[in-house]
Amino acid sequence: MPRAVSYTLALLALGFVGYFALFYIEPSDAKDLRIYFDTAERLRQGLPLYDARYSFADRGSDFELQYLYPPALAALLAPLVPLSADVVFLIWQAGIVASLVAAALMLARFIRTLNPVKPSPEASLLFLLLALWPPTLDGILWGQVNAYILVLLIGVVYATARSALRSAGFLLGIAIAIKATPAILVIPLLVNKQWRALLWTALGIMTAHLPLCLYPHGLQAVPDFIRTTGEIAVGDVVNDPFYDYSLRRVVTFFVDVPSVVFTGLAAVVSVAYLAVVAAYVRASSNSNDHAGPLRGLELLLGIPVMIIISPLVWNHHLIWLFPVLMTLIFAASSTTTALCGRLMYVGLAPLLYVHVFIRNNLHYGESLVKPLPLLVSCLAAALLIAVMGQISCARERQTPTSWRTKAQ
């Protein structure tokens, strides 16, 4: 695509996303955002964060939402509570749009670092594809936090590829403090014995939680979060029948199986991820260039694993698959792998849009679309492993000096 055309389309997409985020949606419709700031207000008042339940008229009478995030998110948002709801909404939604732009910029640079020999996509093209990705608009509609998590995850991968391990660890710590599921990305740091990055990860987690000390009973929210997370992992929870895409929800839709089974499955998948990363590190141990962008791929592989093992997966959580799919499309040296990435993106996006229509208007078709995100996550992980192998083999055929020369 010509650069001028991609820039024009990206500007149009930016205008559309900005209008959708700031003017199309009513502040009262962004349900998750309302829960975040209600929880932040409860923190300021010294009330428990995880006991409140929220129901909405347009949802089922037997369906309730609750705050399920680490207390750091409430602590970070608490200073905004005195502001009016309209101002808070404007700040939050504008931040989502800014995060999407930053995510496209960093992902373009990461792909360029990963495969400098192959032409890389412009950031404008990546933003256009991100704006067209259904979970992007779904997350904006709900006022979700996942766009912020997306930019943090891409920042971790990009910083790791540039060997900026302190920055990578700190960004990962902030992401974990806001939403616990990115903790799976600690595994590559452990396998690679990147102790400094792990130290900065811990510092990021603690830094994000420091504001809890400013509020009465703030630190009590930490054990409350651990207790609530354990209850969700092993207990039966009332999930939205039209939104939840988790492995537990997909299987129990067809077969009656205790929820604790899926806690075991999550542990198995995590151990498998650990084994794959360990094997890859051993296979690449003779390469002097392993300290470069290959580490970014190890972290990137953890993103579909996050989706597979999460006890709750909703449509807007699938925004995390975007960097994985774009890496498969633009960084794969194999034409077949790149084609598979294109087919996944082009095939999954319309189906998710259709499912939104079916879910909201017909209340039918759950069994047809529900397993797709999990299947795509598994396929993306398998293809990403193939890309890792391709790049590793390509580097084995080159001397370290020649590869550095090409990268420069």
Exposure string of 51-80, with b = 16+ CB inside 10 Å and e = fewer, is eeeeeeeeeeeeeebbbbbbbbbbbbbbee
Distance of CA 348 to the CA centre of its chain: 17
pLDDT one-digit tens code per residue, 66-125: 898 999 999 999 999 999 989 999 999 999 999 999 999 999 999 888 777 777 889 999
User: Is the pLDDT at 128 greater than 90, yes or no?
Assistant: yes
**In sequence order, what DSSP letters do the residues of 134-185 get, joined into one string?**
HHHHHHHHHT-SHHHHHHHHHHHHHHHHTT-HHHHHHHHHHHHHH-SGGGGG
% the chain with pLDDT above 70: 85
For residue 279, the enclosing domain spans 3-407
Highest mean pLDDT out of 25-29, 171-175, 312-316: 171-175
pLDDT one-digit tens code per residue, 139-196: 999 999 999 999 999 999 999 888 899 999 999 999 999 999 999 999 999 998 889 9
Higher-pLDDT residue of 366 and 108 is 108
Provide the pLDDT for residue 41. Answer: 94
Closest Cα to residue 290, out of 380, 403, 197, 184? 403
Q: With bands split at pLDDT 50, 70 and 90, how would you rate the model's confidence at 347?
A: confident
**In sequence order, what DSSP letters do the residues of 371-393 get, joined into one string?**
THHHHHHHHHHHHHHHHHHHHHH
* Among 17-26, 83-92, 171-180, 392-401, the least confident range: 392-401
Closest Cα to residue 338, out of 346, 329, 326? 329
Higher-pLDDT residue of 234 and 122 is 122
CB neighbour class for 325 (10 Å; exposed up to 12, middle 13-18, buried from 19): buried
Cα–Cα distance, 400 to 102 (Å, whole number): 31
Cα–Cα distance, 137 to 58 (Å, whole number): 19
Provide the pLDDT for residue 405. Answer: 40
DSSP state of 26: -
Cα–Cα distance, 281 to 65 (Å, whole number): 41
Average pLDDT over residues 197-218: 94
Cα–Cα distance, 343 to 379 (Å, whole number): 11
What are the phi and psi torsion angles at 65 (to 5°)? -105, 160
Locate tokens 């920055």: which residue?
A: 167
Domain count, the chain: 1
Q: What is the dihedral of CA 272, 273, 278, 283, to 10 degrees?
A: 100
Provide the pLDDT for residue 399. Answer: 42
